[in-house]
């Protein structure tokens, strides 16, 4: 097989990986290629660079699982509490770094994990109390308004 045919086959394999394995659109792929320093066209690249790109795509692991599955069972409970409070993952990481000097849930000890869950639960309880107070204040105001009109 000549070098030109090998390069053509490599380009086809790279595009097949792009579509079938990764699901990337052509524009996004070109953007990534240029960001990696390969330019935005596979046709101008030599065989060695094409092999390098193919190797990168084969070794790339697309992380399609939801974020909560990066945690253990207790971590998934914490994740549900975190979403209930309206926190983002970066909010939680900031909290853990500030209070425990650890950047991920899996690095926390059992007592630290319990402390994070307790903090989130207390935060949820405070939110529900303020919502209840707000709702009761609205109900009281509407009753007063109806009494004033009568």
pLDDT in tens, 72-85: 888 889 989 999 99
Residue 85 and residue 136 in one domain: yes
Cβ–Cβ under 8 Å, residues 22 and 30: no
Last residue of a domain, one of 40, 59, 78: 59
pLDDT at residue 46, as a whole number: 93
Q: Are 98 and 92 in contact (CB under 8 A)?
A: no
Do residue 53 and residue 86 come from a single domain? no
Average pLDDT taken over every residue of the chain? 84
Distance CA(85)–CA(82), nearest Å, equals 5
Q: Please tell me the predicted confidence (pLDDT) of residue 68.
A: 55
In a domain, 150, yes or no: no
My answer on whether 75 and 8 are in the same domain is no
What's the pLDDT score for residue 10? 94
Q: Decide if pLDDT at 142 tops 90.
A: no
Statement to judge: residues 71 and 120 lie in one domain: yes
Q: Helix, strand, coil proportions of the chain in percent (round to 5)?
A: 75, 0, 25
Residues 87 and 26 in one domain: no
Number of domains the chain is built from: 2
Residues 72 and 33 in one domain: no
pTM as predicted: 0.47
Tens digits of residue pLDDT in 11-65: 999 999 999 888 889 998 998 888 888 988 899 999 999 999 998 888 876 665 5
**40 found inside a domain:** yes
21 Cβ contact partners less than 8 Å away, ≥ 6 residues apart: 57, 60, 62
Domain assignment of residue 51, given as a range = 3-59
CA gap 106, 73 in Å, rounded: 11
């Amino acid at each position: 097989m000549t070098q030109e045919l090998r390069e053509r086959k490599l380009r086809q394999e790279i595009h097949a990986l792009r579509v079938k394995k990764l699901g990337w659109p052509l524009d996004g792929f070109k953007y990534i290629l240029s960001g990696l320093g390969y330019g935005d066209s596979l046709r101008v690249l030599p065989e060695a660079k094409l092999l390098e790109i193919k190797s990168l795509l084969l070794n790339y692991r697309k992380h399609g699982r939801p974020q909560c599955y990066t945690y253990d069972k207790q971590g998934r409970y914490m994740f549900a509490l975190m979403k209930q409070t309206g926190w983002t993952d970066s909010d939680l990481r900031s909290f853990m770094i500030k209070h425990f000097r650890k950047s991920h849930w899996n690095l926390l000890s059992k007592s630290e994990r319990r402390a994070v869950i307790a903090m989130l639960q207390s935060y949820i309880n405070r939110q529900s109390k303020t919502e209840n107070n707000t709702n009761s204040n609205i109900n009281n105001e509407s009753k007063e308004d109806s009494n004033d009109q009568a």
